[in-house]
Amino acid sequence: MAGGMDSNPEDSREAFGLLRQLLLKPEIEKLAEISRRLDDPEVRAAEVGQILAAALRRQAAVDDRLCLALRPLIEKTLYNSVRKNPRALVDIIFPVMGPALRKSVSAAIMGMIQSLNQMANHCLTIRGIKWRLEAWKSGKPFSAVVLAHTLLFRVEQVFLIHAESGLVLQHVAAEGVSGKDPDLVSGMFTAIQDFVKDALGSGSELIDTLRLGNQRSIWLEQGRYAILAAVIRGTPPMDLRHDIQDCLDRIEAVRGQALAAFDGDTAPFENLDAELRGLLQFQARPETGRRTWLLPAAIATLVTLAALALGLNRYQENRTWQRLLERLRSQPGIIVTRAAREDGRYLVEGLRDPLAPDPESIKSACRAAKLPVDWRWKAYWTMDRPFVLKRAELLLKPPPSVRLLLEGGILSARGYASHSWIVRARRLASVLPGLAGYNDGQVVDQDLVAFQKAVQRLESKAIYFVKGGIDLDPGQEPNLDDVASIVRTLQGFDFPDRPGLNIAVIGHTDVSGTEKFNLALSRLRAEKVVSLLAARGLEAGLFNPLGLGPAGTGSESQALWRSVTFGVR
Amino acid sequence: MIKKKICMLGAFAVGKTSLVRRFVDSIFSERYQTTVGVKIDKKSMEIDGRRIDLIIWDLNGEDEFQSVRTSYLRGSSGCIYVVDGTRSSTVETAGSLYGKTTAAIGRVPAVLVLNKQDLHQQWEVGDRLLAPVRQMADAVFYTSARTGQGVERAFSKLAVMMMENSGQ
Ligand SMILES: Nc1nc2c(ncn2[C@@H]2O[C@H](COP(=O)(O)OP(=O)(O)OP(=O)(O)O)[C@@H](O)[C@H]2O)c(=O)[nH]1
Ligand SMILES: [Mg+2]
């Protein structure tokens, strides 16, 4: 059997196969099975699937190579998936994140309100108390009121700095704000400014903003002599920059000399306090504080709230403004030609009679004292009755014994006054605007009355002479003295609008003697009286001697015989 | 209220910062921390019953690395020149700083202080060396930031001179 096997190779190959079959059958079957499994993707997939989870778990436990290998794949997959269908991711994530999101937003708001609440509780400022009152009046929760008042920005401090030395001329801070010594802070501003100027060359622009962290900034405005610096929290509007500039301009305009001459004495600048306080502005809006991925949601909520609060503020301010305008428009003596809101301030332009009430007092009277209003008035004279009358009174200055009345455009004066007042009033009234005429017919001229009385007295006087001569009757001296004193009284009156005083001295004779002789005698008698009066110190030129000759024979005329009488033109 | 800006000038490490610290806070430290740029301090004092605030600009010392920025001197009403008595070279620096300052802001009251008086064994600056700088100063003081000797007097003297200078 063995030899046959050796001699026949065919047989031996077959026998070997058979033997192999006999010996290795299970292994061969296994091999075939394995190669089938390896060749058949279906089967392989099914198998890898069975062990994949376990394999990943094991490998992950060993090191993170698998992790590193998978990361780009997973990232790319996620990316593609989200790009194709974002909704899916949201759907997946929302059930988990939604509540957390809501909770976090409300926590952020609550946290903020609480801290605000705390802040307001903490510093019992006037504003804090006002907010409490407002909350109490409106029935809103206090925190809501605080929120409404919280800041979009706030000017915390304002420094007026002497540019050259960096010394603080005046400093104001908002309520509750305390910082380093203003002198030191201001010194640093100046040093920084100097440093930059040095570093960048003298032609370089000046610094106008410094940042302190991401919350605070300092706005600097440089004038000729002074620097105005505002420390601001938050994000202010550009309007503020203009306000700062304006403020500095005003200060330099008014205090330019004191600034130029500044030598360390800050006294001239102490009353700029109010001016600087005008810059301690703030604007309401909640502060969001923490920067989280929730920020957009939180901001949206807060902005809405803030907009409401701002709106309310604006609305109230606007109402005050309208009220003020109404009052101004209805005020006689004031004509508003333009009213506008510019750069956060209000502007009123118009005409104002100097006699009209002060607009500032009107402002306080209609509870608008705090409204920042700039006035631009041109003077004018209104024709309103009370103003015309008041103006006439101011201009004519009537004595207490005269009353002015205005009827149908005609100004009339009544009472007693001096001659000079009457003349002056007549002249002034003729140029007073708004009058149809002036009537002083009912004003008694006190001087004229007195003058006329004196004239009457003089004209009733007579100086008597001896028969046929120019010697005075005995006892006529006192009579002559009387005449002299009356003439002096008349001289004391000054009527610039009347011709000068001139007194006729008239000589008379009796009826005896010739006509010619009597005329000459009467003339001589008149001249005699003039010379006697001149001897009493009176100026001869005042008198005009006349000789009338013989007086008549009637009883009245007989009283004139041998006399000299007087007449005033 | 009266406020005056004054400047501390001198070579590096002469004790400018130490003098200010002694004057303002009454402390002294052995540690040397050089000033870079400028440091500003303030001290209120009373002169003849009137309050005056000194705003003290402590400038960096003059050396080969940084020189004094003359723009910091602007608006200064007075200067304190500091010399380190143990280093004769600092006298010359004080002199050149005086020239620089006067050119920049004109003549203002000046006090010369010879500092580190407590180290008299190592004293280097004698009268002959000092003669030229004595001329430029309105008053000279021997001081020690360490013991406080002469410090208050030097600042007071400057304050009085500044007040007189502006007729206040
Ligand atoms: N013994 C002694 N040491 C002093 C005195 N004054 C200052 N020092 C020391 O000198 C060193 C320099 O002092 P600073 O005050 O920093 O000098 P500085 O002039 O401000 O120096 P710079 O700012 O670099 O220009 C420090 O180690 C001080 O402790 C003093 O009066 N006596
Ligand atoms: Mg120093």
CATH number of the domain bearing residue B101? 3.40.50.300
Residue of chain A whose alpha carbon sits nearest to that of B6: A165
pLDDT tens figures, B63-76: 766 677 788 898 99
pLDDT for the residue numbered A66: 77
Of A486, A511, A500, A465, nearest to A566 (Cα)? Answer: A486
Q: Are B16 and B66 in contact (CB under 8 A)?
A: no
DSSP category for residue A235: -
pLDDT for the residue numbered A304: 62
Predicted confidence (pLDDT) at residue B155 exceeds the cutoff of 90: yes
For the Cβ of B35 lying below 6 angstroms from any atom of ligand 1, the answer is: yes
- Tell me the mean pLDDT in the region B30-47: 86
Of the ranges A262-271, A307-316, B84-93, B153-162, which one carries the lowest mean pLDDT score? A307-316
Q: Are A436 and A534 in contact (CB under 8 A)?
A: no
Location of structure tokens 């046929």: A468
Chain B contacts of A187, Cβ < 8 Å?
5, 40, 55, 57
Residue of chain B whose alpha carbon sits nearest to that of A260: B75
- Tell me the mean pLDDT in the region B119-133: 88
Chain A contacts of B53, Cβ < 8 Å?
183
Number of neighbouring beta carbons within 10 Å of residue A35: 10
Packing angle between helix A86-122 and helix A295-329, nearest 10 degrees? Answer: 50
Q: Are strands A503-509 and A543-550 parallel, antiparallel or unpaired?
A: parallel
pLDDT for the residue numbered A535: 93
Query: Using the beta-carbon criterion (under 8 Å), do B57 and A191 form an inter-chain contact?
Result: yes
Reported pTM: 0.46
What total of structural domains would you count in chain B?
1
- For B157, half-sphere exposure in the C-beta direction (CA atoms, 13 angstrom radius) is 18
Query: Using the beta-carbon criterion (under 8 Å), do A194 and B74 form an inter-chain contact?
Result: yes
Residue of chain A whose alpha carbon sits nearest to that of B5: A165
Number of neighbouring beta carbons within 10 Å of residue A200: 12
Q: CA B126, CA B137: separation in Å to the nearest integer? A: 16
Q: CA A25, CA A45: separation in Å to the nearest integer? A: 27
Chain A contacts of B75, Cβ < 8 Å?
162-167
Phi, psi of A508 (to 5 degrees): -130, 155
Question: What does pLDDT average to in each consecutive run of 10 residues of chain A (569 residues)?
Answer: 55 83 83 83 81 81 79 78 67 55 47 47 57 72 58 83 90 79 82 70 66 76 89 82 88 88 90 88 54 50 63 76 88 88 86 88 85 89 84 89 88 89 89 85 88 92 92 92 93 81 92 90 94 93 91 84 91
Predicted confidence (pLDDT) at residue B129 exceeds the cutoff of 50: yes
* d(CA A273, nearest CA chain B) in Å: 15
- Cα(A295) to centroid of ligand 1, in Å? 51
Q: Which of B3, B57, B77 sits opposite A266 (nearest CB)?
A: B3
The domains located in chain A, with CATH, are 151-285 (3.30.450.70), 330-378 (no CATH), 385-447 (3.30.1340.30), 460-568 (3.30.1330.60)
In one-letter notation, the amino acid at residue B74 is R
Query: Using the beta-carbon criterion (under 8 Å), do B3 and A167 form an inter-chain contact?
Result: yes
Could you tell me the two tokens for B160? 């009085």
Q: Which of B3, B40, B166 sits opposite A188 (nearest CB)?
A: B40
Q: Can you give the residue range of the structural domain that contains B120?
A: 2-166
Q: CA B168, CA B160: separation in Å to the nearest integer? A: 10
SS3 for A46?
A: helix
Q: CA A62, CA B67: separation in Å to the nearest integer? A: 64
- Tell me the mean pLDDT in the region B39-57: 91
Three-state SS annotation for A482-544: HHHHHHHHHHHCCCCCCCCCCEEEEEEECCCCCHHHHHHHHHHHHHHHHHHHHHCCCCHHHEE
Per-residue CA distances from A129 to A120, A132, A136, A231, A313 (Å): 8, 5, 10, 25, 18
pLDDT for the residue numbered A11: 80
pLDDT for the residue numbered A474: 92
Query: Using the beta-carbon criterion (under 8 Å), do A187 and B40 form an inter-chain contact?
Result: yes
CA A349 to chain centre: 12
pLDDT for the residue numbered A224: 85
